[in-house]
């Protein structure tokens, strides 16, 4: 209620009083919260109970349900009006039998109630005297051209090929002007059930045509109220003598006692002005845009959580929006959020799934808070970039983290500092490089390989190394339980008919180290009792091609070029 002194005249005061229903208090509280797996009346009851307002649900059929619904930086009143408008429902306030205030929700003519007492109100044209009770002193109807058709189109992430189109058109027989070509196209309606979509199209058409046929008038009937039906009679335009539902009502009154020349009968004066619509037509509330928030949501308080329904969802995503203090528990704050990817083909593309604890940037498809989507991640003081700044300002790349509870991971790094350009690849565990056909490695400088374990090179075809410089081969040994024998730790073999050949080409000269068959070498060495000479190499020098009388006793030999 709001009061104010409008002025005074010869000792009398003029006051303006604005009285609103109790539900108007909901316009003074703004919040952000999530409702999941609740019906629409359950969502509304949860909001209205804070204001001691009952919900009178007069909707035929199954209660509409929502698996996910967000009140996003809206007042409670805006949220209630938006949800009802999206469902194509009308509402008004009324008093209960106990004297409490109730919010009545209706879906059509069956939900209207007649005014108290006799609903018949005769039309008596106003002639300058105060309007009498139970009379309509002024009544004018308007008929406008409006939308004649509505087409809905939706999209289901779980089934992109599913047909989600629905439409509704006016009946030409009911309108003097053919309005069916005036179509309203809504391309992001998210209802997915066919029956729901068809009824949603009918509701959208009724909403678009809510002001096509309206009437306004004045009366002295104190029994008029929004959502109540009266019957007009005795109008000079007989077509207006029908049932009308009040959609808006303004009261005006004067207290005349104290004014000079007034009698007791004329001590008070009351009049109201009203808007009404034909009661046989569904009067739908207009949609609200209060919740549509184009642009991105800031990251304050945002965090990713677990995935919800991972087997039913087509892609990754989970998140918790920064909600208000009245969010009941963690279940209410989390929801499944689709995550955008640079590429997304049919089984191919890129895949980067946000991890628990990451802060993400969230926007909304079509500005609808019920359709959030993650468009990226944001570093922060709690989650710094992978490469420290500013010393690594020329470094780019990807650094992952072992999951769960890892401290290191894989890394692909690009260093672009002039004179220190580098590409680094690090595998936390295994590294697999595969080529379906050919592979070529070209190194402009030195190439060094360090192997901590075995080095095995299986070759299906020929193995032909070509070296223009010096070849050095070193092999370490490790003892077995039987210390009388030794084995090589590094094996590198290319067999041709029982012989192993190592060639080095330098200019026009060549040097070869030849390993003879095991039996032949063992026979040569049996006289010296050398049991582990089976792997010895025979390396003829440039001056003599015969075998050296003092062969080495290791299982490896080195061949060195001499100038």
Instruction: Give pLDDT tens digits for 319-352.
Output: 555 555 555 554 555 677 888 899 988 889 999 9
Choose among 368, 360, 356: nearest CA to 330: 356
Per residue in 59-96, pLDDT tens?
A: 887 777 788 888 888 899 999 999 988 888 889 998 88
User: What mean pLDDT comes out for the span 223-227?
Assistant: 91
Tell me, what's the pLDDT at 15? 73
- The superfamily in CATH containing domain 22-107 is Baseplate protein-like domains (3.55.50.10)
How far is it, in rounded angstroms, from Cα 169 to Cα 209? 11
> With 50 as the cut, is the pLDDT of residue 505 above it?
no
Query: Quick one: DSSP state of residue 261?
Result: T
What is the pTM (predicted TM-score) of this model? 0.62
Taking the C-alpha atoms of residue 17 and residue 23, their distance in angstroms, rounded to an integer, is: 18
pLDDT of amino acid 334: 65
Residues 528, 419: Cα–Cα separation, whole Å: 59
Angle formed by the axes of helices 40-48 and 76-86, nearest 10°: 160
265 pLDDT more than 60:
no
Contact 555, 486 (CB under 8 A): yes
Task: Taking residues 272-284, report their average pLDDT.
Answer: 85
Cα–Cα separations (whole angstroms), residue 305 to 32, 314, 321: 18, 18, 10
At a CB cut-off of 8 Å and minimum separation 6, what does 108 contact?
60, 282
Q: What is the pLDDT of residues 429-453, one digit of tens each?
A: 999 999 999 999 899 998 888 899 9
User: What is the distance of C-alpha 216 from the center of its chain?
Assistant: 45
Gyration radius of the chain's alpha carbons? 44
Residues with Cβ within 8 Å of residue 339, at least 6 apart in sequence: 315, 316, 317, 352, 353, 354, 360, 373, 374
Q: Sort 230 into a burial class: Cβ within 10 Å, 0-12 / 13-18 / 19+.
A: buried
Question: Would you say 251 and 301 are in contact if contact means Cβ atoms under 8 Å apart?
Answer: no
Collapsed DSSP state (helix, strand, coil) of residue 374: strand
Mean of per-residue pLDDT scores for the chain: 74
What is the rounded distance in angstroms from the CA atom of residue 57 to the CA atom of residue 18? 28
3-state helix, strand, coil in the chain (%, to 5): 15, 30, 55
pLDDT, tens digit (0-9, with 9 covering 90-100), for 539-559 = 344 444 444 444 444 333 333
Q: Indicate the helix (H) or strand (E) that contains 330.
A: helix 330-333
Query: Can you give the pLDDT at residue 355?
Result: 85
DSSP states along 401-455:
--TTT-S---EEEEE--TT--EEEEE-SS------SS------SS------SS--
**CATH code for the part of the protein at 292-402:** 2.40.50
Judge whether 22-107 and 292-402 match in fold: no
pLDDT of amino acid 286: 66
CB 23 within 8 Å of CB 38: no
For residue 372, is pLDDT > 70? Answer: yes
Cβ count near 418 (within 10 Å): 6
Q: What percent of the chain has pLDDT over 90?
A: 25
Percent of the chain's residues with pLDDT above 70: 65
The pLDDT assigned to 89 comes to: 87
Residue 148 confidence (pLDDT) above 60: yes
Confidence class for position 485, pLDDT limits 50, 70, 90: very low
pLDDT reported for residue 147: 83
The residue with greater pLDDT, 527 or 34, is 34
List the chain domain ranges.
Answer: 22-107, 113-257+267-278, 292-402
């Amino acid at each position: 209620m709001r009061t104010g002194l409008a002025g005074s005249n010869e000792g009398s005061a003029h006051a303006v009083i604005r009285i609103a229903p109790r539900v108007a208090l909901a316009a003074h509280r703004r919040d952000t919260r999530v409702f999941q797996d609740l019906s629409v009346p359950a969502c509304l009851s949860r909001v209205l109970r804070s204001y001691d307002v009952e919900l009178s649900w007069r909707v035929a059929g199954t209660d509409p349900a929502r698996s996910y619904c967000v009140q996003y930086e809206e007042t409670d009143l805006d949220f209630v009006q938006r949800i009802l408008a999206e469902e194509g429902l009308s509402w008004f306030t009324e008093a209960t039998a106990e004297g409490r205030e109730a919010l009545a929700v209706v879906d059509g003519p069956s939900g209207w109630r007649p005014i108290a007492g006799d609903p018949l109100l005769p039309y008596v044209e106003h002639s300058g005297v105060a309007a009498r009770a139970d009379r309509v002193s002024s009544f004018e109807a308007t008929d406008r051209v409006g939308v004649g058709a509505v087409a809905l189109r939706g999209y289901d992430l779980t089934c992109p090929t599913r047909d989600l189109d629905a439409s509704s058109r006016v009946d030409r027989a009911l309108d003097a002007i053919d309005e069916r070509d005036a179509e309203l196209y809504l391309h992001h309606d998210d209802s997915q059930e066919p029956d729901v979509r068809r009824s949603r199209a009918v509701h959208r058409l009724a909403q678009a045509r809510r002001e096509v046929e309206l009437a306004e008038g004045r009366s002295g009937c104190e029994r008029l109220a929004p959502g109540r039906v009266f019957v007009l009679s005795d109008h000079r335009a007989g077509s207006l003598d029908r049932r009308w539902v009040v959609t808006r009502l303004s009261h005006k009154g004067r207290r005349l006692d104290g004014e000079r020349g007034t009698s007791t009968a004329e001590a008070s004066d009351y009049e109201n002005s009203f808007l009404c619509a034909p009661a046989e037509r569904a009067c739908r509330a207009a949609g609200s845009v209060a919740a549509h928030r184009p642009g991105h949501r800031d990251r304050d308080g945002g965090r990713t959580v677990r995935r919800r329904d991972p087997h039913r969802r087509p892609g990754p995503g989970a998140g918790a929006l920064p909600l208000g203090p009245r969010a009941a528990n963690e279940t209410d704050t989390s929801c499944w959020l689709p995550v955008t990817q640079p590429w997304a083909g049919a089984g191919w593309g890129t895949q980067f799934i946000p991890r628990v604890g990451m802060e993400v940037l969230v926007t909304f498809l079509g500005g609808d808070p019920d359709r959030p989507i993650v468009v990226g991640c944001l570093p922060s003081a709690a989650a710094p970039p992978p490469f420290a700044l500013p010393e690594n300002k020329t470094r780019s790349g990807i650094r992952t983290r072992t999951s769960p509870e890892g401290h290191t991971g894989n890394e692909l790094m690009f260093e672009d500092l002039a004179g220190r350009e580098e590409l680094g690849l690090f595998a936390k565990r295994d590294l697999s490089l595969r080529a379906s056909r050919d592979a070529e490695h070209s190194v402009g400088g030195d190439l060094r390989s360090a192997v901590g374990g075995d080095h095995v090179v299986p070759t299906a075809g020929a193995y032909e190394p070509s070296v223009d410089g010096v070849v050095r081969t070193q092999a370490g040994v490790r003892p077995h339980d039987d210390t009388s024998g030794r084995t090589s730790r590094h094996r590198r073999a290319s067999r041709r008919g029982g012989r192993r050949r190592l060639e080095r080409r330098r200019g026009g000269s060549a040097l070869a180290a030849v390993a003879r068959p095991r039996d032949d070498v063992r026979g040569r060495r049996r006289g010296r009792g050398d049991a582990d000479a089976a792997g010895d190499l025979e390396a003829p020098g440039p001056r003599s091609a015969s075998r050296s009388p003092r062969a080495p006793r290791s299982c490896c030999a080195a061949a060195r070029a001499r100038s």
